[in-house]
Amino acid sequence: MTGQQATQATSGAVQRGDDDIVLSAHNVTVAFGDNVVLDNLSLDIRRGEILGFVGASGAGKSVLLRAILGLTRRRSGTIRIFGVDVDKASELERMRLDMRLGVLFQHGALFSALTVLENVQVPMREYLDLPKRLMDELALLKIELVGLPRDAAQKFPSELSGGMIKRAALARALSLDPDIVFLDEPTSGLDPIGAAEFDELVSKLRDTMGLTVYMVTHDLDSLFAVCDRIAVLGKKKVLVEGTIEDMLASEEPWVKSYFRGKRARQLDLTARG
């Protein structure tokens, strides 16, 4: 099946009410004044998958993420999360949905005046009413879950390495035990070993917690190593969508140069020994 066919098949699945689809963006258009960034874009995310979302710089990956999260207004289109049309959801329904979504924004976006423990507790304070001791225990569990030492809990972001900041931000994204986590360029700024370790962690969490992962990334290693499916943003839409094999077989010029360019060929050979 080609990437384009995969796109069509997936869009069709939404209309058939496929149970496996946890999030569906349908015909989404986002514009800033005359600048139309996304034009009738459709994309589905399936339960338990790691979906890699790629596209040229400035193509609109972050805009789509923000539109999905309700942080950027759509001009038109529908977003369904766990089958709920977010435009028709009551305030309570929307809050319940938000609690099932965890987000790791680009650059970590930790609060610099808060410790790691306090950062991880921010969503708990926003959505839950728990005694401090319980929140401390829960936050420590998350901190350990992402592979940080316990003593990192009392540190401030400025005292952490880049890799530790990413892990702390991931711990905060996992604070409420979400079903879907959105990772915006999680391995950017990490050295290749740190990036590979982060990928492994994401993959392990998906396996153990049954998470669905939506990962915006420029990192070819991540796409090859952990993504089950890849969607390519181009020409304001999802241009091609499918497995890494579909990407390698695609004749779409941008996809071809991205996945079969000089750097990609080296990766391909490495991956295949």
Where do contacts with ligand ATP occur on this chain (CB under 6 A)? 32, 37, 55, 57-63
Least distance (Å) from ligand ATP to the CB of residue 203? 23
- Report how far residue 120's alpha carbon sits from residue 134's, in angstroms, rounded to the nearest whole number: 13
Residue whose CB is less far from ligand ATP, 61 or 229: 61
Least distance (Å) from ligand ATP to the CB of residue 232? 11
Residue whose CB is less far from ligand ATP, 147 or 189: 189
Least distance (Å) from ligand ATP to the CB of residue 257? 16
Residue whose CB is less far from ligand ATP, 18 or 221: 221
Least distance (Å) from ligand ATP to the CB of residue 121? 28
Query: Closest Cα to residue 226, out of 242, 245, 209, 204?
Result: 204
33 DSSP 8-state letter: T
Residue whose CB is less far from ligand ATP, 116 or 230: 230
- Report how far residue 67's alpha carbon sits from residue 236's, in angstroms, rounded to the nearest whole number: 14
Instruction: Classify the C-alpha dihedral 173-179-180-183 as positive or negative.
Output: positive
Least distance (Å) from ligand ATP to the CB of residue 33? 7
At 95, list the tokens. 């809050």
Residue whose CB is less far from ligand ATP, 60 or 242: 60
Name 79's bridge partners.
25
Question: 202: how many CB neighbours lie within 10 A of its CB?
Answer: 25
Q: Are 174 and 146 in contact (CB under 8 A)?
A: yes
Least distance (Å) from ligand ATP to the CB of residue 254? 13
Q: Are 247 and 255 in contact (CB under 8 A)?
A: yes
Residue whose CB is less far from ligand ATP, 60 or 178: 60
Q: Which amino acid is at 114?
A: L
Question: 71: how many CB neighbours lie within 10 A of its CB?
Answer: 11
152 DSSP 8-state letter: G
Q: Which amino acid is at 85?
A: D
Q: Helix, strand, or coil here: 73?
A: coil
- Report how far residue 130's alpha carbon sits from residue 128's, in angstroms, rounded to the nearest whole number: 6
Residue whose CB is less far from ligand ATP, 63 or 205: 63
Least distance (Å) from ligand ATP to the CB of residue 118? 28
